[in-house]
Copies of this chain bind each other. A is one copy, B any other.
Amino acid sequence: MQKTSDKILHAALTLMQDKGFQAVSIKEIAQQADVSEMTVFRHFKTKMGVFESAVEKFSYIPYFEEIFSNQIVWDLEKDLTLIAKSYFDSMNKNRAIFLIAIQERSDFPELNHVIVKNTMQLKNLIIAYFTSMQEKNQMKETNAEAQAIIFLTTLYGYFSSTSLWKDHFLHEWEESFLTNTIQLFCEALKK
């Protein structure tokens, strides 16, 4: 059986990813977790305490460098697939925090760092990868940074739209979206 504090944190994140931090009351969290309000306060002192514990527990720091140093095979299609999947993987694990960060961006701008830092790091790795691929003569000589930004923006666009608007938006399944996107980039960039 689940520990009480875990139940509370899970309930809090579940509610906050839909409504944000300040729009969710302790009462709601307690109901969702099936405990009394007092139990929540006893475990976490304040509402902010619940939130901070939840972020700490559920935020995920991806290790893109390892992936890059171990699994890159210098084949554009395979490598872009790997990169894209790693990105989706890390963003999916941080989905709740991503959604809360959006909603509370004016009150807790620090939260953005979790998301922004990951993305910037990946961006730099992709730039380095593209540069290497150009040196290996496997990619056309275009602006590596610009291509990296476009690639990441596309991935971000997919993740963001499916997270925020559920399937009511452009709805294509992740797998097929990914295949088509990578094919497009390969078509444009491969030498």
Contact = CB atoms under 8 A, between A and B. Distances in A.
Q: Say what secondary structure dominates the interface of chain A.
A: helix
Contact of A180 (B103, B123, B147, B158): B147
Contacts of A115: 165
Interface magnitude class on chain A: 35 or more
B158 A153 contact: yes
A116 interface: yes
A18 B106 CA distance: 6
Contacts of A156: 157, 160-161, 170
Interface in A116-164: 116, 119-120, 123, 140, 143, 146-147, 149-150, 152-158, 160-161, 164
Interface of A: 18-20, 22-23, 102-103, 105-107, 112, 115-116, 119-120, 123, 140, 143, 146-147, 149-150, 152-158, 160-161, 164-165, 168-170, 172, 176-177, 180-181, 184-185, 187-189
